[in-house]
């Protein structure tokens, strides 16, 4: 995985170098520094540099897809291992109660009507929130605590904090639309 990201960074650096050369050529052309005989060569050089960047962009996309596939495969393997582990625990009476308690915490985390997700409460953490973290809910904050998804597949917000839309853990509807989608 690190190798793929290193290659992507190297390709980014090559593209940046090409971009700098193309900008210099462009400025030279705009300033009239090139004679007609050199102008064609400069334009060809710029096209070649641009084509290299396009090729490198395709390579970067391929590397990103490969990295995504690696992560996706690992997640699937972990899900499979988790199911096997849960099955083993389910047969052991000693752990059956703990397993049921764990399942109870995630009972609503299913796809479909009344979907829920549970995340760590942001206010309980002593870390800065990543500025790239997606924002949810009508409050436009990051994911934390118990959340419910709007059943409108085209909802621009999708996930909402229970407290922001007036729900408690005990009263979750099977089907729900957010205030923006309720009339759609």
Structural domain containing residue 84: 2-93
pTM score? 0.43
Distance CA 92, CA 152 (A): 41
Shared domain check, 15 and 85? yes
Q: Are 178 and 165 in contact (CB under 8 A)?
A: yes
Shared domain check, 160 and 85? no
Q: How far from 39 is each of 48, 135, 151, CA to CA, in Å?
A: 14, 49, 59
The DSSP call for residue 108 is T
pLDDT in single tens digits along all 184 residues of the chain: 788 889 989 999 999 999 999 898 888 888 776 677 778 888 888 899 989 989 998 998 988 888 888 888 888 888 888 888 777 766 776 666 665 555 554 444 433 344 444 444 444 444 456 777 888 998 988 888 888 899 998 999 999 988 888 887 777 888 889 988 988 7
Number of folded domains that form the chain: 2
């Amino acid at each position: 995985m690190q190798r793929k990201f290193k290659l992507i960074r190297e390709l980014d650096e090559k593209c940046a170098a090409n971009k700098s050369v193309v900008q210099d050529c462009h400025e030279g052309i705009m300033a009239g520094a090139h004679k007609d005989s050199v102008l064609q060569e400069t334009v060809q050089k710029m096209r070649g540099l641009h084509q290299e960047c396009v090729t490198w962009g395709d390579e970067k996309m391929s590397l990103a897809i490969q990295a995504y596939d690696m992560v996706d495969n690992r997640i699937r393997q972990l899900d499979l291992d988790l199911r096997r582990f849960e099955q083993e625990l389910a047969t052991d009476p000693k752990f059956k109660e703990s397993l049921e308690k764990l399942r109870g915490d995630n009972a609503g985390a299913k796809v479909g009507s009344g979907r829920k997700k549970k995340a760590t409460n942001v206010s309980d953490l002593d870390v800065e929130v990543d500025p790239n973290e997606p924002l949810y809910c009508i409050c436009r904050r990051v994911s934390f605590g118990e959340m419910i998804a709007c059943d409108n597949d085209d909802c621009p917000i999708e996930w909402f904090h229970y407290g922001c839309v007036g729900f408690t853990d005990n009263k979750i509807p099977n089907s729900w639309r957010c205030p923006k989608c309720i009339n759609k």
